[in-house]
Amino acid sequence: MQLFYHPSIDERIEFDAIESQHCIKVLRHKIGDHIHIIDGKGKLYKGVLLNEDHRRCEIGDITEIKSQPRSSNLHIAIAPTKNADRMEWFIEKATEIGIKEVSLIQCQNSERSRVNIDRMNKKAISAIKQNQSLWLPDINPLVSFKGFTTTDRLANKFIGFVENKDDTPTLSQVNLDSALETIMLIGPEGDFSEDEVELAVNHGYQLVSLGVNVLRTETAGIVACALLA
């Protein structure tokens, strides 16, 4: 089933230029064709194509045909990589796995201080359309490590730290309260600083290991998703 995305569904909607181009020029839909639409908030809709304008085609007679609860409470807070493509790859794969939320954090050893949230959202939208998911993860703008970790949150809270990992449990060994959100902090390639680890631990984060190998930032994020989502 070919899916299209629109964030705000009504009885009649208009696709943006990207979705219109794909609908009319690529898939060659015609007036009267049934179109399936997701809103990224757990709902699937069906409508009818009203025109063949490849810049802003319209869909009418829209009805909800499916609703799905979110299956994951996983929130990854991750330091953006120097290579933007690698972070977009992480967003794409984490979305496919079914992550609930991504927060981008600025750490002492971070290599990037600017991020393109719009491009990341587009990667996530493409991923949910590809794997037929009904939920789009929230992708939050870049904030300081201190600002994120000192915010009061009732959650299962973990921080992955390369140093001293022989003394810390692995993610597969920790106990989770399934009723709560699970937050996992993933640091930059230079890892978290000792001060950052101390700050996180003082605010309820538990040190965990992601295994014996030293992982790239985006790989560590995917491993955490696979173990926790």
The per-residue pLDDT for 20 is 97
What is the distance between the alpha carbons of residues 28 and 22, in angstroms, rounded to a whole number?
8
Q: Is residue 44 within a helix (H) or strand (E), and if so which, with residue range?
A: strand 43-49
Residue 164 has pLDDT above 60, yes or no: no
For residue 109, give the 3-state DSSP assignment: coil
Q: Is residue 61 within a helix (H) or strand (E), and if so which, with residue range?
A: strand 58-67
Average pLDDT over residues 159-165: 73
The per-residue pLDDT for 141 is 95
Question: Using one digit for the tens of pLDDT, what is the confidence trace for 80-96?
Answer: 999 999 999 999 999 99
Cα dihedral 166/73/145/197 (nearest 10): -20
Q: Closest Cα partner for 155 from 75, 67, 69?
A: 75
Both tokens assigned to 157: 């809270």
Q: Which residue has the higher pLDDT, 128 or 190?
A: 128
Average pLDDT over residues 60-64: 97
Residue 185 has pLDDT above 90, yes or no: yes
User: What CA–CA distances, in Å, run from 218 to 89, 98, 163?
Assistant: 8, 16, 18
The per-residue pLDDT for 22 is 95
Question: Using one digit for the tens of pLDDT, what is the confidence trace for 211-224?
Answer: 778 889 999 999 99
pLDDT above 90: percentage of residues in the chain: 82
Residue 165 has pLDDT above 60, yes or no: no
Question: Using one digit for the tens of pLDDT, what is the confidence trace for 7-54?
Answer: 999 999 999 999 999 999 999 999 999 999 999 999 999 999 999 999
Fold matches, 3-67 and 74-228: no
CATH classification number, 74-228, choose in 1.10.287.990, 2.40.30.10, 3.40.1280.10, 1.10.760.10: 3.40.1280.10
CB-count burial class (<10 Å; 0-12, 13-18, 19+) for 155? middle
Q: Closest Cα partner for 123 from 159, 89, 82, 76?
A: 89
Question: Using one digit for the tens of pLDDT, what is the confidence trace for 98-121?
Answer: 999 999 999 999 988 899 999 999
The per-residue pLDDT for 166 is 62
Mean pLDDT, rounded, of the chain = 93
Residue 181 has pLDDT above 80, yes or no: yes
In the chain, where the domains are located: 3-67, 74-228
Specify the range with the lowest mean pLDDT, choosing from 103-112, 119-128, 159-168.
Answer: 159-168
**CATH number corresponding to 3-67:** 2.40.240.20
The answer for 40, left when phi > 0, alpha when psi is -120 to 50, beta otherwise, is left
